[in-house]
């Protein structure tokens, strides 16, 4: 293992641990949004289930046919509010785009800012990250074309082969390639974000060029930083899922909830670990010394000089 990489990962993990407040805020926001998104369903489900013996179909085990029966009731107590969930998810995504500036600034500076400074950083970098998001969506277009092509080829192979394995093997190979390309793009744009913060670079096309050059020259070390965190997260989440599905008693609702939230925490922590490791890596490997990010103090607003009020003159009768 590359010592420098090991150092980056450790220092990245250390940054996440040190500034774990960021992790918990993101987790809390995610959880609150999810509660709001699903509250409507819960409000309808409670009256149907809470005082009914039939709710035991879901407590001692989980009877799928009873779930289907519940879903088929005319008042739709089990309606999963898809649009609401999607809307909240989009809002969460926008908020994360907003907070990324402050998060990266914290990791790059390795300093704890005051709340006002943190949010000011978020706003300071927000439009740069919006532009980067637009660039990324453009870069995704050929990936989308590749997915469509792979899908077409999969259908053709599946249709022409009497054995199911031909299409399955193709699917696995295509999935690996596409996933790899997505990860590469993600690392590239993450690096561009770090440059935007560390160098206070306002031109996103320049940040992308620099990021691409850095990434290309240090491809495997940066890739390994990302894959390591992802693999650890997938292993832990996989184990938790296995335990939840196979070992946990069906009545253990609270434990199941805690386990599900633990998986989220692990996932978010892994993502922050990637961001922090990359920030630490950049500080060690940047071609120029990273300039202090522009943590601009709030402007001093001179008080407006108010004219002296005129003396009161009572009205004459």
For the beta carbon of residue 218, count every other beta carbon within 10 angstroms.
16
**Contact predicate 198/283, CB 8 Å:** yes
Q: Which of 6, 180 has the CB closer to another protein?
A: 180
Question: Least distance from C-beta 202 to another protein, angstroms?
Answer: 19
For the beta carbon of residue 274, count every other beta carbon within 10 angstroms.
24
Q: Which of 14, 227 has the CB closer to another protein?
A: 227
Cα 213 from chain centroid (whole Å): 25
What is the chain's Cα-based Rg? 26
* Neighbouring C-alpha atoms within 13 Å toward the C-beta of 104: 34
Q: Which of 176, 255 has the CB closer to another protein?
A: 255
Distance CA(297)–CA(121), nearest Å, equals: 10
Question: Least distance from C-beta 209 to another protein, angstroms?
Answer: 21
**Contact predicate 6/228, CB 8 Å:** no
Q: Which of 84, 221 has the CB closer to another protein?
A: 84
Question: Least distance from C-beta 119 to another protein, angstroms?
Answer: 17
Question: Least distance from C-beta 299 to another protein, angstroms?
Answer: 28
The single residue listed with the structure tokens 């070390």 is 221
For the beta carbon of residue 122, count every other beta carbon within 10 angstroms.
20
Question: Least distance from C-beta 303 to another protein, angstroms?
Answer: 40
Question: Least distance from C-beta 162 to another protein, angstroms?
Answer: 4
Under DSSP, the state recorded for 53 is: G
Question: Least distance from C-beta 296 to another protein, angstroms?
Answer: 23
Q: Which of 50, 310 has the CB closer to another protein?
A: 50
Q: Which of 129, 215 has the CB closer to another protein?
A: 129
Q: Which of 62, 219 has the CB closer to another protein?
A: 62
Q: Kindly report the CA angle at 176 between 175 and 178, in degrees rounded to 5? A: 65
Task: Give one DSSP letter per residue of 198-245, joined into a string.
Answer: HS----HHHHHHHHHHHHHHTHHHHHHHHHHHHHHHHHHHHHHHHIII
């Amino acid at each position: 293992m590359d010592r420098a990489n090991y150092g980056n990962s450790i220092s990245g993990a250390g940054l996440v641990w040190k500034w774990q407040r960021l992790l918990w805020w993101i987790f809390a926001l995610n959880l609150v949004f999810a509660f709001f998104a699903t509250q409507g369903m819960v409000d309808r489900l409670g009256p149907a289930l809470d005082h009914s013996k039939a709710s035991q179909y879901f407590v001692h085990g989980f009877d799928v046919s009873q779930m289907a029966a519940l879903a088929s009731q005319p008042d739709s107590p089990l309606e999963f509010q898809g649009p609401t969930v999607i809307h909240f998810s989009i809002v969460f995504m926008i908020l994360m785009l907003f907070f990324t500036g402050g998060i990266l600034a914290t990791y790059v500076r390795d300093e704890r800012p005051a709340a006002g400074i943190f949010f000011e950083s978020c706003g300071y970098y927000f439009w740069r990250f919006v532009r980067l998001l637009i660039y990324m969506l453009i870069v995704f277009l050929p990936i989308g074309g590749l997915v469509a092509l792979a899908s077409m080829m999969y259908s053709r192979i599946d249709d022409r082969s009497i054995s199911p394995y031909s299409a399955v093997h193709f699917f696995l190979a295509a999935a690996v390639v596409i996933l790899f390309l997505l990860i590469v793009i993600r690392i590239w744009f993450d690096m561009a974000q770090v440059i935007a913060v560390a160098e206070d670079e306002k031109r996103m096309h320049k940040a992308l060029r620099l990021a691409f050059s850095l990434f290309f020259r240090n491809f495997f070390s940066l890739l390994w930083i990302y894959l390591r965190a992802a693999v650890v997260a997938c292993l832990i989440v996989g184990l938790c899922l296995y335990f939840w599905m196979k070992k946990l008693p069906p009545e253990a609702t609270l434990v199941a909830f805690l386990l599900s939230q633990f998986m989220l925490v692990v996932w978010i922590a892994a993502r922050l670990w990637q961001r922090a490791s990359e920030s630490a890596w950049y500080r060690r490997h940047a071609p120029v010394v990273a300039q202090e990010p522009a943590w601009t103090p709030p402007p001093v607003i001179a008080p407006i000089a108010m004219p002296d009020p005129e003396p009161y003159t009572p009205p004459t009768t």
